[in-house]
Amino acid sequence: MQTVNIGILGLGTVGGGTAQVLRDNAAEIARRLGRNVSVFMVSTRNVGKAFKVCPDALFTTDPFEVVAHPDVDIVVELFGGSETAKDLVLQAIENGKHVVTANKKLLAEHGNEIFALAAKKNVMVHFEAAVAGGIPIIKALREGMSANRIKSVAGIINGTSNFILTQMREQGQSFADALKLAQSLGYAEADPTFDIEGHDAGHKITIMSALAFGTPVNFGACYLEGISRLESRDIKYAEELGYRIKLLGITRQTEAGIELRVHPTLIPECRLLASVEGVMNAVRVDADMVGETLYYGAGAGALPTASAVVADIIDISRMIGADTANRVPYLAFRADNVREQPLLPMDDIVSSYYLRVRAADRAGVLGGIANLLAEQGISIEALIQKAVLDDNQAEIVILTHSTVERNIKAAINAINAHECVSAPVVMIRMESLAQTR
Amino acid sequence: MQTVNIGILGLGTVGGGTAQVLRDNAAEIARRLGRNVSVFMVSTRNVGKAFKVCPDALFTTDPFEVVAHPDVDIVVELFGGSETAKDLVLQAIENGKHVVTANKKLLAEHGNEIFALAAKKNVMVHFEAAVAGGIPIIKALREGMSANRIKSVAGIINGTSNFILTQMREQGQSFADALKLAQSLGYAEADPTFDIEGHDAGHKITIMSALAFGTPVNFGACYLEGISRLESRDIKYAEELGYRIKLLGITRQTEAGIELRVHPTLIPECRLLASVEGVMNAVRVDADMVGETLYYGAGAGALPTASAVVADIIDISRMIGADTANRVPYLAFRADNVREQPLLPMDDIVSSYYLRVRAADRAGVLGGIANLLAEQGISIEALIQKAVLDDNQAEIVILTHSTVERNIKAAINAINAHECVSAPVVMIRMESLAQTR
């Protein structure tokens, strides 16, 4: 039986998991693939771990030795970050290696360059593990939905944030306390910025947007708003109104251009996405022929992520020797058909909104605020006035109907300037996630 | 650009949808595939419809002309049934055509013969649409999970039954009334046996079982129990206890063999599967490395099913000209590695159970029943005694802990023989669907 030689760059959590999956399920994989997959070489600073999980591999502390080794067929980049990783991946491609990577940052920021070189050097680059861990969402978007024009993708794609939001809702914890718990459980880094401010979700939705709509990756155009300023009162008010707040990555094809954004979002509690709790991930795809489909699973963790890495290794191994025309294109669309499309500025997106206004509890205030919304052509779907606070203040929670973001911002500016309003308006976007077929 | 010629057998709901998808999304498909897909020939008795959806195709009333036409590359079998369909598919394969089919009955009953001939004639056979309509679950099982040993698959894979169960729960309708509504909405056939007695779900779980565990298809060994005897009171009692009743197809690898069964099942209401309502489908896969993943979407309908058919057409079209070794095996595992495994008789499965007992409302009856369970080594997880009925009768609802089905049957026989028990015990199996990693 033919053997495919793997070179793994980085033997951390996912690298170790990958070696473990390839070892523990070697027989099952060979039963499917008809080829053996061997961890041939590994770059790591932890030789002890390497001995444990892949004792037969060559070890090196220099990852560039792996990408240069003539006997390596597939380079698995689990190095992380984007600068050295980029050099390693480009070097691997230059050397004619196929590449599997779980590096969302690398692909969202440098994917176009990487795919261009890969096309030139005629190698495969797979990245199932870069989005939503073990969920085969890249394959679903790239192959499962290939008969469709995809209309939108919306996902809970950062487990850290979803864990924090679940804690805030279920336990009534503050953001700070929930974050501390996430850190103590190993779900959040010491510096959690990347997860909680939406960067990680932004990288993932950027990749899915390119796959869905056949555009180059364009992370620079992705709007990022995290969960660090969310207050548990908003989660509670949303729940009273029948909604959950989730950090969503959203991308949508509209006539005017593509929406690409990450932000906390109110979604109706009856939607499946609303029931995705803790560190789990889920991605909802709306497409013209199939309608709504949803994919759920573990978005992180050594073995779930390794499951996706190894599925990519198997896919590539199976296609070694096939013609380029037989391959699924890197970004679902053939390179000559990948086209720039305008990305909508946030002012131009259409959404409905949750607003929380703190104002003096005085006759006429409510009407005044409603008028300021009406002046921007914004109609109100629901309004509740919440328990009076200190100093004769009340909180007014408003759900609006759909409007252009520019208008809601103008209305918010006007409300903030109202003499009875005592704190800046809190605004959270809403998505109905309704079936559109 | 190269053109791939499709021959469609049967221009009914899915056939019409397939032609529509290929027409309406032709540009998008070519952008992905780099080849044109043309509906070259169609067999139909409805030439009017054919003119409308694929005016450029050749028409014939004889499907055998399609499978024999030298210019047809891929035969799309949407004929339905299994006898003529089998002849057509075998003939197509014999003639060297690749095949796409949505025919779950055909594959569950004759898949082994079909795949054997296909291997001999070196053609591809794809069948994404045969299970769960537009959800790309075949691809997920066959490719997305390829790094895993799959442990179990459980799915809501019959929309008709799920619609009826949803109506019974949400509206308190009887089975008969819910079925009538389903028929009036076109969700159920005039003769609904195939859907409501579990045959359709059985075909689908049989196919998924083979894909998951690398065995031949073996529909004859699938246990089938439908929903026609379900009473709305059981749905209500289940709900009171925190459960929903769903018709599940279940297959599980155990040390003693493979479980393969379809039956109404209590599942905890907190599981995502419990929230899958109406005609929607969802499949939950539990695998050793990735853990739990779930796939949700439309399980039927012209366009969702056509979405899967056309995805298969695209996959095959892309692989025309590639070597056999480059293909994904028909049943996920390479033919020489597909192995018979023992299928567990129902008496040997392990499950927990919901029991409803009607008995005289008399002191000591409850204890007597509990003793009869204890005699079989069955412990009780929950027990509620329900409102007294006519004639001084009470209903006792019992949830048991896990036990071997043989034991629960023995206990039920003993309970039925109890002097105070006035009607046969109602038994419904339960599944916790808990994460096993």
**Could you give the dihedral angle defined by the CA atoms of residues B317, B323, B326 and B331, in that order, rounded to the nearest 10 degrees?**
80
In chain B, which residues have their Cβ closer than 8 Å to the Cβ of A313? 147
> What's residue A436's pLDDT?
52
How many Å apart are CA A214 and CA A217, to the nearest integer?
Answer: 9
Interface mutation vs chain B, best among A1, A32, A150, most B CBs within 10 Å: A32
Mean pLDDT of the region B392-416: 96
**Minimal Cα distance from A315: which residue of B?**
B143
- Bridge partner residues of A125 (DSSP): A99
Q: How far apart are CA B154 and CA A417, in angstroms?
A: 56
Q: Which residue of A has its CA nearest to B274?
A: A272
Query: Is residue B165 annotated as involved in ligand binding?
Result: no
Other C-beta atoms within 10 Å of B108: how many? 27
Would you tell me the crossing angle of helices B26-33 and B13-24 to the nearest 10 degrees?
A: 70
* Residue in the structure block whose two tokens are 């002890």: A48
Supply B294's token pair.
């779930």
Q: What is the CATH number of domain A346-430?
A: 3.30.70.260
CATH fold of A143-297 reads Dihydrodipicolinate Reductase; domain 2 (3.30.360)
User: Which chain A residue lies closest to B313 (C-alpha atoms)?
Assistant: A147
pLDDT of residue B172: 94
Query: At residue B95, what are phi and psi to the nearest 5 degrees?
Result: -85, 5
Report the CATH fold assignment for B3-134+303-337: Rossmann fold (3.40.50)
pLDDT grade for B69, boundaries at 50, 70 and 90: very high
Per-residue pLDDT, A426: 98
Looking at domain B350-430, its CATH superfamily turns out to be ACT domain (3.30.70.260)
Q: What is the pLDDT of residue B436?
A: 52
Pseudo-torsion of CA A156, A160, A166, A169, nearest 10°? -110
Residues B297, A294: C-beta atoms closer than 8 Å: yes
Residue B363 Cα, gap to closest chain A Cα (Å): 42
Residues of A in contact with B32 (CB under 8 A): 146, 214, 329, 332-334, 337
- CB contact (8 A) between residue A28 and residue B321: no
Amino acid A82: pLDDT: 83
Per-residue pLDDT at A198: 98
Alpha-carbon gap, residue B106 to A352, rounded angstroms:
48
Measured between CB atoms, does B172 come within 8 Å of chain A? no
Structure-block tokens of residue A370 = 């409603």
When mean pLDDT is compared across A53-57, B287-291, B385-389, the lowest value belongs to: B385-389
Q: Is B48 on the interface with A (CB under 8 A)?
A: no
Tens digit of each residue's pLDDT (9 = 90 or more) over B173-196: 999 999 999 999 999 999 999 999
Residue type at A102 in one-letter notation = A
What are the structure tokens assigned to B311, written together? 């995805």
pLDDT tens digits for range B79-110: 888 899 999 999 999 999 999 999 999 999 99
**Per the residue annotation, which of A86, A97, A139, A204 is the catalytic one?**
A204
Q: Which of A321, A331, A278, A318 is nearest to A125 (CA)?
A: A331
Domain spans in chain B, listed from the N-terminal domain onward? 3-134+303-337, 143-298, 350-430
Question: Does A418 touch chain B if contact means CB atoms closer than 8 Å?
Answer: no
What is the second-level CATH architecture of the domain B143-298?
2-Layer Sandwich (3.30)
Which residues in chain A land under pLDDT 70?
389, 435-437
The pLDDT value given to residue A437: 44
B150: contact with A, CB 8 A cutoff: no
Where residue B205 falls among pLDDT bands split at 50, 70, 90? Answer: very high
Which residue from A193, A158, A197, A198 is spatially nearest to A280, judged by alpha carbons? A158
Q: Is B11 annotated as a binding residue?
A: yes
Q: Is B409 a catalytic residue?
A: no
Contacts of A93 (CB under 8 A, 6+ apart): A99, A114, A117, A118, A121, A123, A125
Answer yes or no: do B304 and A291 touch at CB < 8 A: yes
Order the strands of the A36-43 sheet from edge to edge: A58-60, A36-43, A3-9, A74-77, A98-101, A125-126
